[in-house]
A and B are shown apart, each in its own frame.
Chain A
């Protein structure tokens, strides 16, 4: 292909060998430690304060490092982990329903469609039980049974009840737990908090990550912050689609700037389209709202059997409804994994059986559950979600079925990391959604919270110590030529954005980019579509740099300037996503290529050619990205066609 070149495969992932059950324990013992007295002499920068960044900064602070934490929001408590609704998985087996660390490991590798690293996923499953203990100790108010013990529920892709939850606000409660631990460290002076600061560049000195360039979003001041290691916990890049369930400010800039400085970007085309979101209502739409997957425990998904049936849903008799998930996937029914539920919704809408004003919607119906359990029970479980639905749509879901449609929700791809969560730039660690590590080509519900907290509380603090202990370094000042160059780059870029002074708003470009990506790099991709998208993205990017209008100056709070920088980076990422999607001539998880499907329309993987992680190197000189493959080896969970039938 003309769009990329292939480089050397990735030789070492630092994953230990031997029995998978003992890899993490043995690795932890083998790693070096930092003496408590030496920790306070070491500075660690953590970018982002969500579940991963917040828990990491708090833990590193507790351990005695000098931590500098950054977030773009006005408070670390507002990071978008706060919006996660459904729950967090853990292999506690409190239900005695056959769960175990091995089963969580197995379900996650299978759920990821055999595109994740076994060693990492096993570690995640092991650590999951410690996370629940940690959060309970912090006072996180999980749902409980009458006997006072923790309640759990089912989630997609699993046949055991291993999902712990706090009504429909699990992310909020877990994040506040981490935030409070972080605030405690801030109060003690161990963590220096910098809210309303945005990382705009990474500083690399002698091949190591040694700092970042940040902009104070209130004063406009640019500063260079130096450290002994840098941790990115800056989240996912779903907003490349403009419309997504991400917060408006979520962006790829921190990751992308690191990528341009040498960190490989892995599997960028693996994006998760969540099946249950409130459908788009008009051109003014600025974001999409998720309705938790937990609703599929009690809601039944259906569309009319015949095309163009525009009767009100309550007037459509039972035998004229198609409960298509229950029909096609009898053993998992409405609880099939997200990628499968999303594509099934797309298929019935493509057939012309979609509902609602746009025809892009399917029903999620609670009538049976209300009849069986009573309205009170449904209110207790999902009350806040039902209210949210009614506020947005003006319809009462206790009376009429919800209308839902898939929307971009999570990105499995991200910066490539080894087993130690270190990127290809030594000293640059990447945790949470920002890395690519544990979810393969599809993330299971309630696994994002688990991974964010596993990385931040338990994995990174060990692996980072090993790096710092093994690599004693000289202090580097902000006056170092590399640091000065990084800062100059940032300043020039901001000046350039402000100087365009064109005739289109940044949002109008972002919206158009999102449409290209949704159409060609969304739920279904094809070679022709992706090639077209790449041409369109390039043309639009050129227009952006000629016609975008960024009002104001860089001297103070300027939300247009913030947006412009982020959208400029999304343009570059979008192209790489399409190249990655184009090169992966198979269907797996969230990546569905029209050319590669089984006769009954399921994803057709090609393990012979594509059982690898695609890690992309930025190559400014060559002009095209360089592909490095990390071969995936499955010793415990043998790849099979994923079946939820």
Chain B
């Protein structure tokens, strides 16, 4: 099939950027979306042009590196699929496809389709963990975990940190990402001791990084390639509320 791509080109953070049109002939329906971009880049290099920069690594939908806005949708039209797992059989001959980077205040563009998602790491560093220094762990079977809690924790833990939720949100909020980790750890007995300091730390880091607030629109969850449910945010809100009342009740605060 023959396609027309309109791709966001931006030489660096200071450049204003613009859409550039590239025809791409002879695309096989068995190609992945990124393999189609590889073909374009090979041609650009031989034509003496700069290839299009984009983030990608595992190409099997798990590392979370790929981050393309395709026709205005994070990771493109197929539900539950990262851009690297999207295949060209989802498109039709003669189509024009717009490709842009994630757009959010907290994710500045580095070059072309590459953005800086360091803000996510900062949210994790602010509490997205269980403090368990190496060697200090008790025997694994000393604390049974109800299967349904373990399964629910797993579903929240499936987040790949790609940032599609932020890109899809009209507010540029990172609340689904934050809530996924809060939910995972608050469902497990191991996460209880830090449950309330965790949620405050992570939400504060989220706000400081320049993410917008959550207004319950739900675009995040429908764009999420791993199907992280929206009700994780409800869970985060409950924990946050409890945490703030606890904090208010602490003697001396």
Interface residues of A (CB under 8 A from B): 55, 58-59, 62, 73-78, 80, 82-83, 92, 94, 130, 132-134, 136-139, 141-150, 166-167, 169, 172-173, 176, 179-181, 183-184, 186-187, 193, 195, 218, 245, 247-249, 281-282, 284-287, 289-290, 387-388, 391-392, 394, 457-458, 461, 503, 505, 507-508, 549, 551-552, 556-557, 559-560
Residues in A whose Cβ lies below 8 Å from that of B89: 394
B208 is an interface residue with CB less than 8 A from chain A: no
A143 to B145, CA, bound (A): 10
Q: Identify A134's interface contact among B86, B87, B120, B132, CB under 8 A.
A: B132
Cβ of B37 to closest chain A Cβ, rounded Å: 10
**Most chain A C-beta atoms within 10 Å of own C-beta, residue among B124, B153, B158, B190:** B124
Contacts of A461 in B (CB 8 A): 134
B166 part of interface (Cβ distance < 8 Å): no
Report chain A residues within 8 Å CB of B39: 284
Are A388 and B30 within 8 A (Cβ)?
Answer: no
A167-B154, A183-B124, A549-B45 known; A391 vs B85 contact (CB < 8 Å): yes
Label chain B's interface by main secondary structure.
Answer: loop
Quick check: A187 and B125 within 8 Å, CB to CB? yes
Please, which residues of chain B bring their CB within 8 A of the CB of A141?
Answer: 150-151, 153-154, 157, 184, 188
Known contacts A75-B117, A183-B129, A284-B39; A134 and B51 CB within 8 A of each other: no
B150 to A144, Cβ gap below 8 A? yes
- CB distance B147 to A146 under 8 Å? yes
Q: How far is the CB of B147 from chain A (nearest CB, A)?
A: 5
A-B contact pairs, 26 of them (CB 8 A): A74-B55, A74-B65, A74-B116, A76-B121, A78-B57, A78-B65, A133-B138, A133-B140, A134-B134, A139-B129, A139-B184, A144-B151, A149-B144, A172-B158, A180-B129, A183-B121, A187-B126, A247-B58, A247-B63, A282-B31, A289-B60, A388-B85, A392-B32, A458-B134, A458-B135, A507-B42
Q: Are B137 and A137 in contact (CB under 8 A)?
A: yes
Q: How far is the CB of A197 from chain B (nearest CB, A)?
A: 13
User: 7 shortest A-B CB distances, which residue pairs?
Assistant: A148-B144, A187-B125, A137-B137, A180-B129, A137-B132, A141-B154, A133-B137
Least CB separation from A144: chain B residue:
B150
Identity of the chain B residue whose Cβ is nearest the Cβ of A456 in the assembled complex? B134
Name B111's contact: one of A282, A503, A556 (CB within 8 Å): A556
* Closest chain A CB from B59 CB (angstroms): 5
> In the complex the two chains form, what is the Cα distance from A73 to B86 in whole Å?
21
Query: Is residue B46 contacting chain A, with contact meaning CB distance below 8 A?
Result: yes
Task: State whether B140 touches A136 (Cβ < 8 A).
Answer: yes
Q: Separation in Å of the B47 CB from the closest CB of chain A?
A: 10
Which residue of A is nearest B132, CB measured? A137
Say yes or no: B58 contacts A130, CB within 8 Å.
no
User: Which residues on the B side are within 8 Å of A457 (C-beta)?
Assistant: 134-135
Q: Does B12 contact A (CB under 8 A)?
A: yes
Confirm or deny: B2 has a beta carbon within 8 angstroms of a beta carbon on chain A.
no
**A560 B125 Cβ-Cβ under 8 A:** no
Q: Shortest Cβ distance from A251 into chain B, in angstroms?
A: 11
Query: In the bound complex, how far is the Cα of B39 from the Cα of A391, in angstroms?
Result: 20
Interface residues of B (CB under 8 A from A): 12, 28, 30-32, 34-36, 38-39, 42, 45-46, 48-51, 53, 55-65, 78, 80-81, 85-87, 89, 110-111, 114, 116-118, 120-121, 124-126, 128-141, 143-147, 150-151, 153-154, 157-158, 160-161, 184-185, 188, 190-191
Q: B30 touches which one: A134, A282, A507 (CB < 8 A)?
A: A282
A551, B58: Cβ atoms closer than 8 Å: no
A248 touches B59 (CB 8 A): yes
Q: Closest chain A residue to B154 by CB distance? A: A141
Chain B residues lying within 8 Å of A55, measured Cβ to Cβ, are: 134
B195 → A minimal CB distance (Å) = 11
If A77-B161, A391-B87 touch, whether A557 touches B114 (CB-CB below 8 Å) is: yes
Q: A77-B121, A136-B137 are in contact. Are A505 and B60 (CB under 8 A)?
A: no
CA distance A75 to B177 in the complex (A): 15
Q: Which of these, A58, A82, A184, contacts B63 with CB under 8 Å?
A: A82
Nearest CB of A to B242, in Å: 19
B42→A287 contact, CB < 8 A = no
Contacts A73-B65, A176-B157 aside, 18 further interface pairs with beta carbons under 8 A come to A75-B118, A82-B62, A133-B139, A136-B137, A138-B130, A138-B132, A172-B158, A172-B160, A180-B124, A183-B124, A247-B59, A249-B57, A285-B35, A286-B35, A290-B60, A392-B87, A507-B38, A560-B45
Question: Which residue of chain A lies nearest to B146 when distances are taken between CB atoms in the complex?
Answer: A148
A285 to chain B, nearest CB (A): 7
Q: Which B residues are CB-close (under 8 A) to A245?
A: 60
Of A137, A149, A167, A552, most buried by chain B (CB within 10 Å of CB) is A137
> Which A residues lie within 8 Å of B128 (CB)?
180, 183
- Contact present for B61 and A74 (CB under 8 Å): no
Q: A183-B121, A557-B53 are in contact. Are A82 and B45 (CB under 8 A)?
A: no
> Looking at the complex, which one of A75, A147, A285 makes contact with B120 (CB distance below 8 Å)?
A75
Chain A residues near B61 (CB-CB < 8 A): 388, 391
